[in-house]
Amino acid sequence: PTKVLSSVIWSTIGNTTGKDGYKYGTSADFDLSQTQDGYNVINVSFMKTPQGSTLPTFKPYNKTDAEFRAEVAKLNAEGKSVLIALGGADAHISLTKAQEDDFVNEVIRLADTYGFDGLDIDLEQS
């Protein structure tokens, strides 16, 4: 039997404009646990570099860490993979050689904290 990869992007950008979707730079405000059954890979977007920092990270906009991890665990229990995405159309990721270990440690920390299964690298601004 062949498995079909079906992926969806779940965005950390809450909808404040009333216009949803990638075109408008917002997403519908829904929980990760509301991902439709047909998807088997969920890309959580995006790791961003907070103002005043030089290292990309991730923080759920509408959940505590424990609540978000529980939603990831629920999807994992259903056989779905949940990835953290780095980059995006408006991301300008620039790391120095000296930041390599810190970045790797941050990705590992995020996987440990939220239960992510991997990293989706989406560097469109290279």
For position 77, which CATH number holds? Answer: 3.20.20.80
Strand partners, 44: 10, 84
- Provide the phi-psi class of 86: left if phi over 0, else alpha when psi is between -120 and 50, else beta: beta
Supply the pLDDT for residue 7.
64
pTM, to two decimals: 0.78
Is 34 a member of any domain? yes
Establish if 105 belongs to a structural domain: yes
Express each pLDDT in 68-112 by its tens digit. 999 999 999 999 999 998 877 777 778 889 999 999 999 999 999
Q: Is residue 119 part of a domain?
A: yes
Residue 1 lies in a domain: no
In total, how many domains does the chain have? 1
Cβ-based burial of 53 (10 A; exposed 0-12, middle 13-18, buried ≥19): exposed
Residue 107 has a pLDDT of 93
Q: Domain limits at 113?
A: 7-123
Secondary structure of residue 111 in the 3-state scheme: helix
Mark whether 124 is an active-site residue: yes
Higher pLDDT, 43 or 117: 117
67, 78, 100, 124: the active-site residue:
124
The answer to the question of residue 88 being in a domain is: yes
Q: Does any domain span residue 58?
A: yes
